Structure 1
Amino acid sequence: MTEPTIQKQEVSVTDETVMSQIYMIRGQKVMLDRDLAKLYGVETFRLNEQVKRNISRFPEDFMFQLTKEEWESLTSQIAISKTGRGGRRTIPYVFTEYGVLMLSSVLNSERAVQVNIQIMRIFTKVRQMLSDNTEIKLEIAEIKQAVNKIAKKQEGQDKNIDLLFEYIDRLQEKAEEPKPERKRIGYKDKW
């Protein structure tokens, strides 16, 4: 008797889709509960229901609820319909990288595991891009400092050159002044 083979279901979510759903809020890279629910193939309220059942696994550095102001700002940026027009009635939760990682254990489905792996890879890429960007900014700052030092030295040299030219001009003026006739001294010829 042959054993049944377990087929892994391939999940096709593009990197661009996931990256477009990562937001910077309170200085952290986060994803909205509704975006994660869509990626995992579950309803948003089911995702939040599982999280609430396992709330001890989600400290504040894993997940937090947006403030009303943050939500309104985000709503205007990403074109989410308002409550009166079929939009969301509650302020969403957002999940940090650690929270997204914890979600796969709470949701406990093959799709959740596969999507999580892909999301973790993308978070790693984003972190690397930010790190590279930070290194470039530091190098630019160092270059600016060096240029400023050179400019200050140049400024000092310019002042010295101006002073030198001023002295030269004074000497030239003195040289060009008419000299008074001097009485000749020594032997005089009567002729």
Structure 2
Amino acid sequence: MTDNKKTISVERIQQVIYFIRGQKVMLDSDLAAMYGVETFNLNKAVKRNRDRFPSDFMFQLTKEEAYSLTFQTGMSKTEGRGGPRYLPYAFTEQGVAMLSSVLKSKRAIQINMAIMRAFVRFREALSTSKVLALKLAELEKRIASHDKNILTLFEAIRELMTKPKAPRKQIGFQVKEPKTRYVKKPMPFLDFFSEFIY
């Protein structure tokens, strides 16, 4: 990469575009490596032209953001031996475009064109993924309504499958013959004796 004739592929650039604070950004160390300069010199050139880099073009990461990036990207530690001694700067798409006016080298211009192409591809991929996300959300809603219908169907099937409770048998002696109605029949000869008995 130190040779000016070497160009960097768009795919390689896309690998170092991060999504931080809701924006697509590139870190100063990655940009410096692509431009073939030291990170310190890149930041020094930016600080000399600070008025060209407002907060929506460039910002410094917080400790938490830098710590999170160490796990996501495998960067070296932000503190202690072997790591950078400062919090990295993140450049948005506009900030990267402004860097070519600050660095003023043929390599910087070539790299900037490749980076702009990478940002465009990244944006296209993001818009495609948004469309897919919307379709997926719509599909999930349909499935959720189907799930509700399926659950009500299962409940109805379970109700049909449960056996109705049989009436409990009563404890004790039970007569299994049909009930008969006893009627008092008149007995005329008893009427005759009833006069004498009482």
TM-score normalised over the length of structure 1: 0.72
Cα distance, 1:84 vs structure 2: 4.3
Q: Could you say which structure has the larger radius of gyration?
A: 2
Cα distance, 1:107 vs structure 2: 1.0
Cα distance, 1:159 vs structure 2: 5.8
In 2, distance between residues paired with 1:151 and 1:88? 52
Cα distance, 1:72 vs structure 2: 2.5
Secondary structure class of the residue paired with 2:76: coil
Query: What does residue 132 of structure 2 align with?
Result: 136
In 1, distance between residues paired with 2:53 and 2:116? 17
Q: Percent identity?
A: 49
Secondary structure class of the residue paired with 1:129: helix
* Structure 1 runs of 4+ with >6 Å offset: 160-163
RMSD of aligned C-alpha atoms? 3.1
Choose from 29, 45, 59 the match for 2:54.
Answer: 59
Query: What does residue 28 of structure 1 align with?
Result: 23
Output aligned runs, 1:1-191, within 5 Å.
10-76=5-71, 77-80=73-76, 84-156=80-152
Range moving further from structure 2, 66-75 or 24-33: 66-75
Secondary structure class of the residue paired with 1:31: strand
- 1:51-97 deviation line (CA, Å, top 9, x unaligned): 11111111111100111222233234423156543432221211011
**Structure 2: which 5+ residue stretches go unaligned?**
165-177, 180-198
Letter in 2 for 1:135: V
**Structure 1: which 5+ residue stretches go unaligned?**
1-8, 171-179, 182-191
The answer as to whether partners of 1:62 and 1:96 remain within 8 angstroms in 2 is yes
The answer as to whether partners of 1:64 and 1:93 remain within 8 angstroms in 2 is yes
TM-score normalised over the length of structure 2: 0.70
In 1, distance between residues paired with 2:29 and 2:14? 15
